[in-house]
Amino acid sequence: MSTRKVSRAQCANCTCSPGLLSRNNRRSSWLHKQINIKRTNSGNISPRGASRQGSVFTIDAASLCLPEVKEVNTSQRLVKLRNAMAEHNLGVYIIPSEDQHQSEYVSSADQRRSFISGFQGSAGVAVVTRDVMCMNDTPEGAAALSTDGRYFNQATNELDFNWILLKQGAKDEPTWEEWAVLQAIQLSLDSGSEISIGVDPKLITLTTFEKFDKIIRDKLSLTKYSKAEVSFIPVQENLVDKIWSQFEELPPLPANIIKPLDIKFHGNDVSNKIASVVEELNSKNASGLIISALDEIAWLLNLRGSDIEFNPVFYSYLILTNEGEVTLYADHTRFDTTVSKLLRDNNIKVEPYNSFWKGLKEISSRFKDQKKKLLLPKTVSWEIVRNVKCSYEQGRSTVEDLKSIKNQVELEGAKSAHLKDGRALIKFFSWLENELINNNELIDEIEADDKLTEFRKQEKNFVGLSFTTISSTGANAAVIHYKPIKGDCAVINPDKIYLNDSGSQFLEGTTDTTRTVHFGTPTSEQIKNYTLVLKGNISLGALKFPENTTGALIDSIARQHLWSEYLDYGHGTSHGIGSYLNVHEGPIGIGPRPNAATSFLKPGHLLSNEPGYYENGEYGIRIENVMFVKETGRSYGGRNFLEFETVTRVPLCKKLIDVNLLTPQERKWINEYHATIWKEIAPTLESNSIELRWLKRETTPL
């Protein structure tokens, strides 16, 4: 009998009885049907903007009430933004997702695109137009949100009637740049005047500007558009920031203490890292380097912060010369005495964060007079490039390359972190199965996520999560970046697939693990497709390959078994992972994207292995392990051969494996993997516990 208490405090505006959820007896099929209210894709608009076929429109587990759904009506926000655009004589305004450091994830104070559009996903660009011919008191125009396939469903649910969705990568769909330029051209043709497209230059890179500028030139070269006049201009005042406080209280600026990371977790002191960067500068005949990527600065200085959720970084810039002169621009009031001492001991000058632009101007003028060259990573903002007056060269960041190759301490840290995270996940899956099957409890996706976090917090040196957990049941698992929302998420159905993609930040390292499980009786189709995904995961994880191999070259290794059945998945196979840093780290990857074709896999690279398969409206499958590249000790033709070592320690779902589809080598790989997990984790679990019994069952040989 379960002792888990259901709180009625979550229930709002209802008179229902908690007794309705009494689970002392076996769950009746009638109650099960009441809980799992399936929504069909009839084309009607749901309260959040679209229906979800085959998903569970969830109820509060304490009350059987429908959740209270809150929407953001962006009408007045767009009116205020268009008024601000008129003050700057803009016809089109671009609102990127990034902050001025081009971070993938940003703090609440930088979530401008989310504020103006209502879309909460991490990737996307908003474009707002203003009808320059409109003489009404209320300005008119169009608004578009562009995002990729990971977020199509989420964007459809979250955007209100003011917005159209541009599906990035979809057939015959314009890119956001093309859409913005075409809108500007039409405004110019209609008005007979020049139309300016504006953007905060701190929020885009020079590469984005050049791409945009080329699209403008190419479109205007066409005869039908030859009479239009369009320009792309920097707007120093961020127009979203200008109107934000009229609707919401501005998010507070970060105030948490910045801390040093002990050498037992990073294995290389600051002076050595700076010396390595200086050596690279001299090899490229460069006299200085501008660093704006937050994880690069945190790595170089062995410091960690918490300015961005899930990412242990802090807002800063850094300028480094080939003579070892280093200036850090950051909020020094948040340094403790150990940080201040570390910086002093390494002769690192500290200036206020906002003084960076003055410092950039000074170093730029100095280098111009001395005819010296600056190195600028391609990730720096357009505004930085605009402010550099000396000779410069852009390319891949030296620090990014150095950071991506983990030393032995960092690799051992990755093993330790994944062992601890594996134990937490083993406790979680055994608990979840016991609650759903033996105790007949109702567990929703958020409650499961909270319980998993509870298990993780029990582990030593746990700092926090490394990203928002994807806890998804049934059709929700088919949404690649599904994000359950408290009060508006599904109750986990034990008769359907459940997918959990989650990770932790430990002082020893960063984890990222996905497991797909089934607590009931899976269909033959689900078993087959899970096994195909698993075969791809094993094929990549067991691969031997020569040095100077790119991730793009081996992407098909993970897809081959799905391809043989005319199936595939719409995301990359792998991304780099930081060492107690960002869970997504460049420059490496395995997949079809350009970065995977430009970076060789090298010993010490830590990366994911995550093939998948998604049946829209039905279920999703993804199996993700973390692995690192190492030497095999073998060579051919003068090229050393490399291989991967998997560090993830979570069993695979045996119920979803069709052993008949496995080769003897694949079966051996699984059995050895499970034997390793049993050997390393079983002794750390309490004897005769639920998790130990679950682990023994899941790791017995196939």
Q: Is the pLDDT of residue 2 over 80?
A: no
Q: What is the mean pLDDT of the chain?
A: 89
Rounded Cα–Cα distance for residues 116 and 118 (Å): 6
Strand partners, 393: 375
Regarding predicted confidence, which is higher, 97 or 47?
97
- Do 477 and 620 form a contact (C-beta atoms < 8 A)? yes
Would the pLDDT of 60 be above 90? no
- Return the HEC string of 384-416: HHHHCCCEEEEECCHHHHHHHECCHHHHHHHHH
What local confidence, expressed as pLDDT, does residue 404 receive? Answer: 97
User: What is d(CA 630, CA 632) in angstroms, rounded to the nearest whole number?
Assistant: 7
pLDDT of residue 49: 34
Of the candidates 98, 101, 104, 102, the residue with the CA atom closest to the CA atom of residue 585 = 104
pLDDT in tens, 679-695: 999 999 999 999 999 99
Give the tens place of pLDDT for each residue, 74-126: 999 999 999 999 999 999 999 999 999 999 999 999 999 999 999 988 889 99
Q: What pLDDT score was predicted for residue 10?
A: 33
Confidence band, pLDDT 50/70/90 cuts, at residue 27:
very low
Structural domains of the chain in order of their starting residue, each with its CATH number: 78-244 (3.40.350.10), 259-404 (3.40.350.10), 408-693 (3.90.230.10)
Query: Residue 595's pLDDT is what?
Result: 80
In angstroms, the CA 648 to CA 514 distance is 10
Q: Higher pLDDT residue, 595 or 281?
A: 281
Quote helix, strand, coil % in the chain, to nearest 5. Answer: 40, 20, 40
Cα–Cα distance measured from residue 452 to residue 450, given in angstroms and rounded to the nearest whole number: 5
SS3 category, 31:
helix
The predicted-structure confidence for 581-628, as pLDDT tens digits, reads as follows 999 998 999 999 888 899 999 999 999 999 999 999 999 999 999 999
Flag whether pLDDT at 272 surpasses 60. yes
pLDDT 10s digits, 435-468: 999 999 999 999 999 999 999 999 999 999 999 9
In this prediction, residue 63 carries a pLDDT of: 34
Q: 71 pLDDT band (50/70/90 cuts)?
A: low
pLDDT, tens digit (0-9, with 9 covering 90-100), for 472-531: 999 999 988 888 888 889 999 999 999 999 999 999 999 999 999 999 999 999 999 999
Q: Distance between CA 51 and CA 475 in Å, rounded?
A: 12
638-655 pLDDT, tens digit per residue, is: 999 999 999 999 999 999
pLDDT digits 0-9 by tens, 162-184: 999 999 888 889 999 999 999 99
Q: What is the pLDDT of residue 151?
A: 82
Higher per-residue confidence, 37 vs 170: 170
Q: DSSP per residue over 233-274, as a string? A: EE-SS-HHHHHHTTTSPPPPPP-PPBEEPPHHHH-S-HHHHH
